[in-house]
Structure 1
């Protein structure tokens, strides 16, 4: 089972592209909207040093931006 978390904001077109990509592939993920959740936003910065979105954690590997190839590479 894959463990995927996608960090997003309301206004990020690449976030939508990433979610659509995962949905199209039938890949389940958890979404955390850092715009609505400042505590999670701070955890994200602490973990990666980055505030940009989308960021995804795919089975423990961080993927920055809309990077389908990296997401696929970390799937089980």
Structure 2
């Protein structure tokens, strides 16, 4: 598990990424968040089988990445980018922070 520091930590909710080492979409998700100056908490399911089980129970999906903003399940990388393109990612970040 690791966290990437970034500006806005106090104003934005906890972003949790469930990832694995060999996942290209996980890398893409982290690069997108980094480009936005956002911080996240990374949970590597390939290093801890118990975390994989927690992710499946929480997201009801087995693929990575699985992205949560606060308690809201965003989905995978494609889901996050669809929200961003639709203009709904920023309001979600703001709503979760409130």
| Aligned counterparts of 1:15 and 1:74: Cα–Cα separation in 2 | 20
Change (3 A) 1:24 1:69: same
Deviations 1:7-30 (A, max 9, x none): 101111110000000001100100
Secondary structure of the structure 2 residue equivalent to 1:75: helix
How far off is 1:69 after superposition? 4.2
2:43 counterpart of 1:32: yes
CA contact (8 A) 2:56 2:62 kept: yes
2:49 counterpart of 1:16: no
Matched length? 76
Structure 2 unaligned blocks of 5 or more: 1-11
Q: Which residue of 1 aligns with 2:8?
A: none
Larger Rg: 2
CA contact (8 A) 1:5 1:30 kept: yes
Secondary structure of the structure 1 residue equivalent to 2:53: helix
Q: Which residue of 2 aligns with 1:75?
A: 93
TM-score normalised to structure 2 length: 0.70
| Aligned counterparts of 1:36 and 1:70: Cα–Cα separation in 2 | 29
By relative contact order (CA 8 Å, sep 6+), the higher-ranking structure is 1
How far off is 1:70 after superposition? 2.9
Secondary structure of the structure 1 residue equivalent to 2:83: helix
Structure 1 unaligned blocks of 5 or more: none
